Every structure is written in C-alpha cells, then in structure tokens.
Amino acid sequence: MATHEVFNVPPPLTGNAFTSDPSLRLADLGETDIKSLVALGELAGSEQAAEWGRLANSYPPVLHTHDRYGHRIDEVEFHPAWHSLMTVAVENGMHGTPWRDGGHLARAAKFYVWAQVEAGHGCPVSMTYAVVPALRHTPQLAALYESLLAATSYDFGLRAPLSKAGLLAGMAMTEKQGGSDVRANTTRAVPAGDHHLITGHKWFCSAPMCDLFLVLAQAPEGLSCFLVPRVLPDGARNPFLIQRLKDKLGNRSNASSEVEFDGTAGWLIGGEGAGVRTIIDMVTMTRLDCVIGSAAGQRAALRQALHHARHRSVFGRPLITQPLMREVLADLAVDQAASTALWTRIARGVDAGETPLVRLAVAAAKFWVCKRTPALVAEALECLGGNGYVEDSQMPRLFRESPLNGIWEGSGNVIALDVLRAVRRDPDSTAAVLAELETGADSRLGAAVTRLRATLDGTDERGARSLASGLARCLAASLLIQHAPGAVADRFLAQRLAEPASSGYGESPGPATDAVLAEFAD
C-alpha cells in the first residue's frame, strides 16, 4: 500500500552544462568552438553521461597481473562506462590535440565542461595533453609520437605504439622515499645503445594502461627523463610490473598504481641530468588542468546546490528565497566564477605564448583554487542537507574528489614555495602578473595590490601561502572587474579582498546577493 505522496523533492538535474554556466562567458570563445561546446554540454548534462560517471566509480578498475596460464600481463580492466567517457574526451580533442591544431582555451573549456561528469578519467586525458611539450625536448621522439598523442581516436589496448590509431600518455615520477622531492629518487637508468635500461620502483604511476610514460630515473649524469612505452616497437611487452592499484579516497574510476621496472627500456628526453628542466613544461600544463578540474568540481557542486534550492521548500517558503541560504549560494557562485576567470586567462595565455605570466599565474591559481574547492564542495553538499550525504545525490563523489588536485602536481606547501621562488628569481613572471593586475582599475583592488607589492620582497617561507593566495585573489579580482557582471565582481572584491578577507561561506553578508543569483539562474 502507498503510505504517502512523494512531493517537495527536486526533479532530476539535466540540461546543457555549457549554456547554463554564466561563468563561461569569461572565456570569450569563437563561434566554431561554441558550437562544439553546446553539443558537448548537452551530452554532459544528460542522464546518460551521469550514469556513465556513476558506473565508472561503482565498478573501479581491476588489476590482472597474470593470464590464466601464468604469463605476466599487467593489464587493468575498466568498466565499459570508463571507455565511453574516454571516447568522448578523446574525440573532442581534450588531450594532445591543441599542440597540433591550436586552441588551448577551447580545449580547456571542453575539459572543464566534461570533467563535471566524472573526474577520474580526466587524469590520462590531462597527462596526454601535458606530455607533448616535454617530449619536444627531443625532436626525433616528438616526430614519432606527437601526431598520435593528438589523434582523436580512442584506441584502448596494449600494442606497439606506432601500430595504433591514437595514444595516451601517463607518468611515473614519485617514489616511496621522495614524494615531491624527485631528486631523492633511486630508480636507475644505464645506457644500452640508443636507449637506457631502467630498474627501480615508482610509488605512484598514474593510469598504467596508457601507451607511453614519462619516467624520472638517475642516469650516469644525474636525474633524467625517459619515454617508456608499455609495448616495444617490435610488439614485445616492456617490463612494467604493476604491483597493485592504490585504494584511494576518491578518483576511484582511475587506476593509480605502484610499478617496478626491471631492465625496462626507456628513451632519453632532453639529455642526461636535465630531468627536472625537461618536465617543467609538463608540470605547468598538468597544474593548469588541476585548476580546471577543481573549477569543474566547484561548478558541478554549485549546480546541484542551486537546483536543490530552487525546487525545495522549507518552513513554507522556497529554499532559494531564504536570506541565509541566498548569502551562502551567492558566495559559492562568486568563488566559482573567480576560479573560472583564472583558468580561462591562463589558457588564453598559453595560446598567446605568454610564458612568463603562465608560469607564475598557474602556480598561484593552483594553490588558491584547489584549496578553496573542498570547502566549497562541502558547503554545497550541506545545502542539500541529508540528501547530499547519500551517494545517489552525486555529492559524496564530488566531495571525495575535492582535495585531490590540491595534492597532485605539488601539494599546497610545494606550490606556495614555487610561487615564492618565482617571485624571487623570475622577475619576468612577476612583472607579467603585476602588469595584469593593473588592468583592473578599482580602488579596492588597488589597495590589495599595494599590500601585495609590499610583501613581495620581504616574504620568507612562512609567508609563502599568504603570498600565493594573495596573488591568485588579486588576479581573479582583476579579471572579474574586466569581464564579469558588475555584481559578481563587487561581491568577490568585498568578500575576498577586504581586510580581513571573509573565508567562510555566508558568514559575512555581502553586496549584490540578488544580482549575483540572478546571473546564476539556470
């Protein structure tokens, strides 16, 4: 028997994930790119895509070290939903395609829209994007593989790389004893003709079913970077022993592994002893994707919170009309807009070849955006109450993902120290970012920039986090002043640049609440 009527619950959240996002107006995309993003956004907002994301995380990858006869195979099996997600990403050129065709900003926008569906599969997509500039340090290797890393064909399976229609790339950098301190690596590489033989372990090897990997190892002349294929040119398996898959807090659809190399063939990139210099370009690009991926998680969480508030009544009134909820939602919205402003500007800088600006801005943005994301997603989850705490809402998955990008590619302290190092040693980057801040004329921004300038020379390591956060917030404010609706910029300036800045959501009533929420009306 029916005991009650189901009412006062939101309908399923669907709709175009691109056209419904006002913060993407900051991207200033071309007509052709907008057309492809409208189609992608329609798919990203569909029930089909949501189901792919659910299944890929409900049935995480499985490691098979041996076949039925006892042969070592080291293969990882994925749910078909993973392959569906990857197919969309690759066919839309979210991996290496911009290095061939241009359009890093358009690629970033696609990655942002599609990552809202499911974050884990973004890892191999991002690494494939980032590997190309590192590979170009050795032109003969780039000539062999770059076109396949940019191909829009998702060709899963371990085969000789040059026999495939498209390639994906991963990386194996960190070791148990070193972590971010890669100079402490003990994995060794010895010359063997036109290549090296690598022996050692890697504590984190992301996406081990990719075709090619960047690997750091100690060569005779010092720490060096190598290109390691899973399958050798003659079709034989390269020794690549997957010891286990990591049991992670989130990112469960993606396989992160521990691997052993035992006489594994690798081809030198960039010269012996130049390992760190070689991977710097790759690290910059993966850090950019950490910013984009975090902003995507923010947007997915905000969208769920706004949808719930519009369709739920509490104490006789729609939740979206409740004053305190409106303050919380408006604060969430302007932070998410600021995050999007940062990645769009940096991606535009990649297109324009603004290397000094990109170098410093991406580090500062990674620090601030990735640090804000767990708090933002947690607050958005709370907007749904108990409904947000159950898996059906998708919010727990977003919450588990939220700390990830703050850890990968340099955790908070590492990034803050990179910002401090750049300010001290890279005057071109500092000048480029400060020049960018001058373009957003506003007395509140001017006062914040004055305070920031006063800290540039005197900050020591203890103040590195404050410096990184201040740079990112000032840059975001400048961009919002120039490109966002006035209400969004006003609220961000009031909430994030005031002294002292408000850090909590809804704790300090800000200006333009109604106007901000009107901008974010779905």
pLDDT, tens digit (0-9, with 9 covering 90-100), for 238-270: 999 999 999 999 999 999 999 999 999 999 999
Structure token digits, residue 396: 């727990």
H-helix or E-strand containing 447?
helix 443-456
What is the pLDDT averaged over residues 337-344? 97
What percentage of the chain reaches a pLDDT higher than 90?
91
- pLDDT over 70 (residue 278): yes
Rama region for 390: left / alpha / beta (φ>0; ψ in -120 to 50; rest): beta
Would you tell me how many other CB atoms lie within 10 Å of the CB of residue 183? 11
What per-residue confidence (pLDDT) applies to 288?
97
For the ranges 1-5, 153-157, 454-458, the one whose mean pLDDT is highest: 153-157
Please give the class, per CATH, of domain 22-273: mainly beta
Query: Where does CATH 2.40.110.20 sit in the chain?
Result: 22-273
In this prediction, residues 314-340 reach a mean pLDDT of: 96
Q: Locate 232 and state its tokens.
A: 């050798």
* pLDDT of the residue at 2: 82
- pLDDT, the chain, mean: 95
pLDDT of residue 178: 82
pLDDT computed for residue 459 by the predictor: 85
Per-residue pLDDT tens digits for 122-146 = 999 999 999 999 999 999 999 999 9
Assessment of whether the complete model's pTM goes beyond 0.95: yes
> How deeply is 310 buried, as exposed, middle or buried, from its count of CB atoms within 10 A (0-12, 13-18, 19+)?
middle
The CATH number corresponding to 277-519 among 3.40.50.12280, 3.40.50.720, 1.20.140.10, 3.90.1310.10 equals: 1.20.140.10
Rounded-to-integer distance, Cα 457 and Cα 317, Å: 53
Mean pLDDT value of segment 198-216? 96
Where in the chain are all domains bearing CATH 1.20.140.10?
A: 277-519
Q: Tell me what pLDDT residue 27 has.
A: 81
Count Cβ atoms below 10 Å from residue 507 Cβ, excluding itself.
Answer: 12
- Averaged pLDDT, 302-306: 98
**pLDDT greater than 60 at residue 440:** no
Q: Per-residue pLDDT tens for 3-27?
A: 899 999 999 999 999 999 999 987 8
Read off the pLDDT of each residue in 420-449 and give the average, rounded to a whole number. 90
pLDDT tens-place string over residues 51-92: 999 999 999 999 999 999 999 999 999 999 999 999 999 999
- What token pair was written down for 5? 């009527």
> What's the rounded mean pLDDT across residues 471-493?
95
Tokens of 116: 């809202």
Residue 503: predicted pLDDT: 73
DSSP state of 461: G
Look up residue 216 and give its DSSP letter.
Answer: E
500-512 per-position pLDDT tens digit: 777 789 998 899 9
Average pLDDT estimate for 389-400: 97
| pLDDT bracket for residue 103 (50, 70, 90) | very high
226-232 mean pLDDT: 98
Rg (CA), the chain: 23
Residue 359 pLDDT > 60: yes
Q: How confident is the model at residue 95 (pLDDT cuts 50, 70, 90)?
A: very high
- Is the pLDDT at 42 greater than 80, yes or no? yes
